[in-house]
Amino acid sequence: MTPEITLAPPKRKRAPSAPLLLLRDPMTALALGYLILIALVAILGPMFMADLAAKPNFRARNLAPFTLEQGWAFVLGADTLGRSLLARLVVAARTTLGIAVCAVMCSLVLGGLLGLVAGYGRGWLSAAILRVTDIVMSFPSLLLALIVLYSLGPSVLNLVIVLAVTRIPIYLRTTRAEVLEVRQRMFVSAAEALGASDTRIIFRHIAPIVIPTLLTIGAIDFATVVLAESSLSFLGLGVQAPAFTWGSMVATGRGYLANAWWIAFWPGLAILLTTLSLNILSSWWRTYSDPHQRWRLELPRGGRGTKEKRS
């Protein structure tokens, strides 16, 4: 008898992990590194540089950058009161990013919950939620923020509330669209046939599928909120003195662009780099989270064009 020969199934090539794919893209890795650095600076920096950010030094008024006459803390120059711009950038990072994080988290949670209700239910409550959303979206977000802040007065709490309310419709409509598609799937019908409650179906079966999409939108929207907060602070309707943000620092330095450009340049550069890094990282994450587009990241460098030609 001839022995039976069994062929082992071919080994499937293991897909690269997310950190490895991220390190393959130098621009995305650089953006992530910058965001990690700015987050650490915002968390830890004010503990060491808060005094320098508030203490005036009239001998260093409008001190030019890259001079160490007053010490390393003045390497980026000083403002009109001789305060270290490096220290003020570090302290302002906590305020700017803290406002953006609170606004994005509030709008994501509230918009996601309302979107789950509006997408799964089909009664008067769903219709009422959609009508209120249409009313909010009919106003330009920045104009609505200006009206509310002018009426209630500028403060950190009012700024967070305004930014969160103006961003809720984005998460609500996205969640509702996802829920309308997911509720038609077989596992939802099976859960309904087994007698599962609506709350269990929404939070146990539908919400885990919707959350990754909301996180992707949140990463993209974070950059928009940072720009909106900077714009409102630049117009004088954001954080009020003695607190300050990157946007208010730009507003302070706009009158000295001719003879002290660095007062407005460094906070403007911080806003630019932060929003650019967020957009780069969110674009990479959007490609990675889509199974139909992930192959673009798995290609070796230089082989992307060949693959696109073959497809």
What CA–CA distance (Å, rounded) separates 295 from 31?
Answer: 21
Q: Mean pLDDT score of the chain, rounded to an integer? A: 82
Q: What is the pLDDT of residues 192-234, one digit of tens each?
A: 888 888 888 888 888 888 888 888 888 888 888 888 888 888 8
Is the confidence at residue 311, as pLDDT, over 50? Answer: no
- 25-60+76-291: CATH topology: MetI-like fold (1.10.3720)
Interatomic CA distance for residues 76 and 249, integer angstroms: 14
Q: Answer with the residue of higher pLDDT: 23 or 182.
A: 182
Kindly report, residue by residue over 7-26, the tens digit of the pLDDT: 445 555 565 666 777 777 78
- Residue 309 is predicted with a pLDDT of 44
Where does the chain have alpha helices with state H?
Answer: 18-24, 26-44, 46-54, 85-120, 124-137, 141-152, 156-182, 186-193, 198-200, 207-234, 246-253, 262-289, 295-298, 304-310
- 50 or 162: which leads in pLDDT: 162
Note the pLDDT of residue 310: 43
Helix (H, G, I), strand (E, B) or coil at 291: coil
Q: What is the mean pLDDT of residues 291-298?
A: 69
Tell me how far apart the alpha carbons of residues 264 and 260 are, in angstroms, rounded to a whole number: 8
CA 109/CA 122 separation, integer angstroms: 21
In angstroms, rounded to a whole number, what is the distance separating the alpha carbons of residues 126 and 128? Answer: 5
